[in-house]
Structure 1
Amino acid sequence: MSKIHSTAIVDPKAELDSSVEVGPYSVIGPHVRIDAGTVVGPHAVIEGHTTIGKDNKFFQFCSIGGAPQDKKWDGEPTRLEVGDRNTVREFVSFNVGTVQDEGVTRVGSDNWISAYVHVAHDCQVGSNTIFSNNAQLAGHVQVGDWAILSGFVGVHQFCKIGAHAFIGMYTSLTQDVPPYVLVSGNPAGARGVNLEGLKRRGFSREQLDGIRSAYKLLYRSNLTLEEAKTALLAEEERLPAASADIRLLREFLGTATRGIVR
C-alpha cells in the first residue's frame, strides 16, 4: 500500500524512499530528496533544492525549503540540508541559502524544533539542539550542538551560539554566546554556566569545575577578551580533565565576529 496519501501532490521528479509517509494535502516539489523512515504530516510544503535524511517527523503546516526572505535572492538554486531523526513541529519554516554565503542552510540531526520556529537562509544548526516555541533565527546564524533556545528567543543575523549554551525566554541576541554559557534578559547578559544541562549530559565533576573556572576568567576577572584567551590557554594546561572543554570555549572566542555577550 502506498504511504503517500491520495490528496498529496508529489512531483514526479522528487526522490522519496519507498518508506516515506506523506500526509493529506501536502506538497513535495521536484528538487526534493527524502530518505527512509521520514514522515511528512498533512498540509506540509517541502520545496526548493532540499535534502532530508532518515526518520524525521514533520508535523502539519510546516514550510520547508522555501525561498529566502532576502531581497538579494534572485532565484539561484541554493539548498537546504536536514539530517536525521529531527522532530519539526507545526508551522516551522526552514529557508534555503543564498549565494552571498555558502548557498546552503543546514540543520543537523536529533534536533527538537517546536512550533512556529523560523530558521532563515544560510543558518547552520548543529545536532541535539532544542528550539522552544517561536524561537527565531535571522540569516547566517550558527547554533552549536546541544544548545537550547527558549521560547520567543530572537537572534540577530550573523550571530553565533556555542555548543551547550542556554538562551532564556524572550531574550534578544545581538552578540555571540560562548559555549556552556547561560544567557537571558534584554539586553542579553551572561548569568552563569549551563550547569544543569551539562550534568544531564554526563559531564564529570572535573569537567564542570574546569568550565566554571574558565567562565570566571572570561566574565569575572576584569580581563580584556585577548587577555582572557591567554589565560584560558594556561587553564587548558593546568586542568587536563577539562582541557578539551576549555579549548572549545577558547577557540570559539577566536571566531566571534559580533563580540560576545558579557
Structure 2
Amino acid sequence: MIHHTAIIDKTAEVSESAIIGPNVFIGKNCIIHDNVQIGVNSVIEENTEIKKGTILSPNVHVGGAPQDLSYKGEDTKLVIGENCRIREFTTIHRASTKEDWITEVGNNCFIMNSVHIAHDCKVGNNVIMTSYAALAGHTHVGDKAVISGLTGTHQFVRIGKMAMVGGMSRIVKDVPPFCLIEGNPAIVHGLNIVGLRRNGVGPEARSSLKKALAIFLDRSLLLEDAIAEIEKLAGCDEVVEFCEFLKSSKRGITRR
C-alpha cells in the first residue's frame, strides 16, 4: 500500500506488500522488499536496499550521501537487512569509495531514535543501538553487540561480538568481543555476563573467557605476550574468537 502523497522515483522498486506512509520520499535505484513499512515523512534518498520485514518509524532519513570530503557523487550504496526496527530521526548514510562502496546494517537490528550510522559502517545481526549513539565512518560492529545511549566511536573502530558498551562512552580503540566496556575514554570492566547468558554461552565457555580476559588485562604483559598466553588455554570457540580479534586489531585494543 502506497499513500497517494508519497513520492517514488521511477527507477525505484517497491514490493506490493510494502506499506509506504504519507509524504515518504523514495529516490533513485532504491529497492524496498516485501512487508517493509516506512513511516510518515521518512526519506530514502537513493541507492538503498531495505530487506523484508524492516520497519522505519516516521521521520527516518537513510541513504543520504556520506559526510566525506573525498566523495564526488559516486553510486555507493546502503543495504539494511531483514526485520530491523529503525526508530524516528535516525540517519544512516551510504558509503564512500574507500572500502567496498557499501554501508551495511544486518538482520534483526534494533536502532533506537536519533542514532547515527555513518558511511562505510558494517553493523552485524541482532545489534542494539540506544538513542543518540553514533558510529563514525568505517566502524564495524559484531553480531549481538549492544551500544548504549550517547556513545560515540572513532573512525575505523571495531566493536566485537556480544560486547556491551555502556552509555556516554568514548570509543577510540577496538572493543574486544564478549566484554563490558564503559567510560571516557572507555576501559574494560569485565565480561558481558548477562549478554553471554542471554545468548546461550554456557558456563564452561564463560569460565574460559574469564581466564582469557584476566590474562588480557594483566598490564605486566605486553599485548603480544598476553595473546600467546591466551592461545595456550583449552580451546572453545569464544576464546578462539577473542584471541583472533586481538591479533587482527589495527587501531589498538581497549584495555585498563
TM-score (normalizing by structure 2): 0.98
Distance in 2, matches of 1:152 and 1:53, equals 28
Which protein is richer in helix relative to its size?
1
Q: Which residue of 2 aligns with 1:53?
A: 51
Residue 244 (1) aligns with residue 237 (2): yes
Cα contact 1:31–1:47 (8 A) shared by 2? no
Distance in 1, matches of 2:221 and 2:32, equals 49
Q: Which residue of 1 aligns with 2:188?
A: 190
Deviations 1:42-86 (A, max 9, x none): 100002211111100000111110000111110000011111000
Cα contact 1:4–1:22 (8 A) shared by 2? yes
Residue 29 (1) aligns with residue 21 (2): no
**Which of 244, 253, 260 is matched with 2:253 structurally?**
260
Distance in 1, matches of 2:172 and 2:80, equals 26
Distance in 1, matches of 2:227 and 2:7, equals 54
Q: Which residue of 1 aligns with 2:4?
A: 6
User: Quick one: percent identity of the two aligned structures?
Assistant: 38
Q: Give the secondary structure class of the aligned counterpart of 1:191.
A: strand
Runs (4+) off by over 2 Å: none
For residue 221 of structure 1, report the CA deviation from its aligned partner: 6.1
Q: Which residue of 1 aligns with 2:128?
A: 130
Distance in 2, matches of 1:157 and 1:107, equals 17
Distance in 1, matches of 2:243 and 2:74, equals 37
How many residue pairs were aligned? 255
Q: Which residue of 2 aligns with 1:78?
A: 76
Aligned positions of 1:192-231 closer than 5 A: 192-220=190-218, 222-231=220-229
Unaligned ranges ≥5, structure 2? none
Cα contact 2:44–2:63 (8 A) shared by 1? yes
Cα contact 2:180–2:190 (8 A) shared by 1? yes
Q: Which moved more, 1:161-170 or 1:196-205?
A: 196-205
Counterpart of 1:260, as a letter, is I
Counterpart of 1:173, as a letter, is I
Counterpart of 1:131, as a letter, is M
Q: Give the secondary structure class of the aligned counterpart of 2:251.
A: coil
Distance in 1, matches of 2:111 and 2:23, equals 22
Cα contact 2:18–2:34 (8 A) shared by 1? yes
Q: Which moved more, 1:89-98 or 1:213-222?
A: 213-222
Unaligned ranges ≥5, structure 1? none
Aligned positions of 1:107-118 closer than 5 A: 107-118=105-116
Aligned residues: CA RMSD: 0.9
Cα contact 2:42–2:58 (8 A) shared by 1? yes
Aligned positions of 1:155-174 closer than 5 A: 155-174=153-172
Cα contact 1:82–1:108 (8 A) shared by 2? yes
Distance in 1, matches of 2:41 and 2:243, equals 45
TM-score (normalizing by structure 1): 0.95
Distance in 2, matches of 1:181 and 1:257, equals 18
Distance in 1, matches of 2:90 and 2:28, equals 21
Q: Give the secondary structure class of the aligned counterpart of 2:5.
A: coil
For residue 222 of structure 1, report the CA deviation from its aligned partner: 2.5
Counterpart of 1:252, as a letter, is F
**Which of 103, 119, 127 is matched with 1:105 structurally?**
103
Cα contact 2:26–2:46 (8 A) shared by 1? no
